[in-house]
Amino acid sequence: MEKIRFLKFLDRLHWLFERLGVDYTTMRKILAVKLLMDTRRAPILLNQRTRKKNKEGNLFLKSLWVYALTGLFIVPLNFIGSDYLFRMSMIFSIILFMVMTAMIADFSSVLLDTRDQSILRTKPIDAKTLHAAKTVHICIYLILLTGALALPSAIAGLLRSGPLFLLLFLLNLVLIDLIAISCTTFIYLIVLKFFDGERLKDVINYVQIFLSFTVAVGYQLVIRAFDVTMTNITIGFSWWQLFVPPLWFGAMFEWLLGGRHAATLSIFALLGLVVPIVLFLVYQQFSAAFETAIAKLSAQEGTSKRRLGKMNHFFAKLLCRSSEERIFFRFASLMMKQDRMFKLKVYPSLGMSFVFPFIFLLNNLHGSTWSQVSKGSGYYYVYFSLLLIPASLLMLKYSSAYKGAWIYGTTPIKNRSSIFSGTLKACLTELFLPVFLILSLLFLLLFQWRILPDVIAVLLTAPIFCVISYHFCMDDTLPFSEPFDSAPTTGNYMILFLFLIAGLFIAAHAMIRWALPGYGILIYIACLLIANMIVWKKVF
């Protein structure tokens, strides 16, 4: 443990920790053990097979090449025009998105780890020292992650704009990490303050889902801050832009390197410098309170039990052909409702499937009125709701209670295919259908009742697309039978590939509308009904 290089570097800063009231010697020992234990932990970015091959060494470090590869795709943004504000705001919005996603997915479990409470709080260690060890532990990996992600852009910026660009770029990366840690901790602290026991764990899960969703959609605010045309990029300053951090960091470059010293840019640049530092200082003041509040996570107020509603029983009777299939339909419904990790993985996709159609509609609204948009063919964006299906099926193999999969081998199952058919139908009714119905209702209000047959066509496309996705996503693996850390890293590429297949349905739909504008859509609906019956009967 003494040979860990970072600890030797940290020793040079011991005076800083001591001034903050931290017992540096104790913090160093805790940190050394945490770093040693990390060599036995696989991050979400790596799958089970990789973990088996790499029995020794820090697997997070070995996964950084994925972030570096992602960083290569950011490099072209460095060469878009001469406007620092636009291109740096776009670059930092992507970096902030990746850092916040990692903070939620990989590091929330570290931040909310209750094992420190039961093991270390019983020793003469104050809460500030304990939290400092946890914070430095997270900072090490956030800095490495941010560095791997931003390195290609840093090199490109250095070559184009010189060493001053590089220094400012590195400063902004540190500020981004401060924002990520501070904001995430503050949100968790508020939740810990007002909730207890099982209810607290549920609320934290929903907060993680909300954060994932907000971060994923937030980049749209950056794009909409600019008026982008074929010949020019301009920004129309508005009050809401004060709450968009990437614009703060972009303004620093425009102010210092671009030579524009407008009052608005000065305010943005000042916010980018001051807000992260103030947030981190306040965060340090609440560190002891945060460690005390985490103890609530260890409290148990009984097992959280959820019951299936009447609608679930109705769909089970309506859609399932046998009692065995109905059993697995209800079983899958319960698992999707109760497994917090499953909800954390899938529910952000649920939100994105709902929001994406409106994002594209808003893009169409540029230069048009709502009346003009409502007379167009923007209702095809309802097909984006199908994105939820492969995103859900990719996770149906995994569960926090995967060790209970032995039940499949001990239960007298007559027809093994009923496990999969029941689970897929539960996925469609529990996850896809609520999003689709709300989305369809809003689109009907916007495009009028003329699109009702089109909405029905999309609804009938979903079960067929579900069966197609099943073959690519589940690979005949039993539902909820594997741990989440064995999930592959190629999931997003699979979703993209399957959505290209969904594009064939969109093309067929549009072609029918164009070739037979009258009753063609009704013929298409009839064909989809027949196809559904054939596909589900043949496959299951």
**For 272-321, what is each residue's pLDDT tens digit?**
999 999 998 888 888 778 877 777 766 654 445 567 788 888 999 999 98
265 lies in which domain range?
Answer: 5-298
Percent pLDDT > 70 in the chain is: 83
Q: Taking phi first (over 0 means left), then psi (-120 to 50 degrees means alpha), and beta for anything else, what does residue 6 get?
A: alpha
Question: Are 136 and 247 contained in the same domain?
Answer: yes
Question: Are 107 and 203 contained in the same domain?
Answer: yes
Question: Are 235 and 175 contained in the same domain?
Answer: yes
**Domain end among 246, 272, 298:** 298
Q: Which three-class secondary structure state does DSSP give residue 368?
A: coil
Nearest to 332 by CA among 238, 449, 419: 419
Compute the average pLDDT of residues 231-259: 81
Question: Are 288 and 386 contained in the same domain?
Answer: no
Distance, in Å, from the CA atom of 358 to the CA atom of 376, rounded to the nearest integer, reads 14
Q: How many domains does the chain have?
A: 2
Cβ neighbors of 436 (< 8 A, separation 6 or more) are 382, 385, 458, 459, 462
| pLDDT value of residue 100 | 82
User: Taking the CB of residue 186, how many other CB atoms lie within 10 A of it?
Assistant: 15
Nearest to 296 by CA among 117, 465, 139, 41: 117
- In a 10 Å sphere around its CB, with 0-12 CB exposed, 13-18 middle and 19+ buried, how is residue 184 labelled? buried
Residue type, 174: V
Nearest to 417 by CA among 474, 462, 459, 461: 474
Q: What predicted TM-score, i.e. pTM, was given to this entire model?
A: 0.72
427 domain-assigned: no
**Domain end among 271, 298, 325:** 298
Distance, in Å, from the CA atom of 218 to the CA atom of 221, rounded to the nearest integer, reads 6
Compute the average pLDDT of residues 464-468: 95
Which uninterrupted H or E stretch holds 264?
Answer: helix 263-285
User: Taking the CB of residue 289, how many other CB atoms lie within 10 A of it?
Assistant: 14
Question: Are 230 and 370 contained in the same domain?
Answer: no
320 domain-assigned: no
Question: Are 142 and 231 contained in the same domain?
Answer: yes
Percent pLDDT > 90 in the chain is: 31
Output the 3-class SS for 287-330. HHHHHHHHHHHHCCCCCCCCCCCHHHHHHHHHHCCCHHHHHHHH
pLDDT in tens, 367-420: 667 777 788 888 999 999 998 999 899 889 998 888 888 888 888 888 889 999
| pLDDT value of residue 522 | 94
316 domain-assigned: no
**Domain end among 298, 319, 348:** 298
Question: Are 68 and 214 contained in the same domain?
Answer: yes
Question: Are 97 and 173 contained in the same domain?
Answer: yes
Question: Are 262 and 343 contained in the same domain?
Answer: no
Question: Are 99 and 149 contained in the same domain?
Answer: yes
Determine the distance from the C-alpha atom of residue 217 to the mean position of all C-alpha atoms in its chain, rounded to a whole number.
10
| pLDDT value of residue 242 | 85
Structure confidence at residue 233 as a pLDDT band (50, 70, 90): low
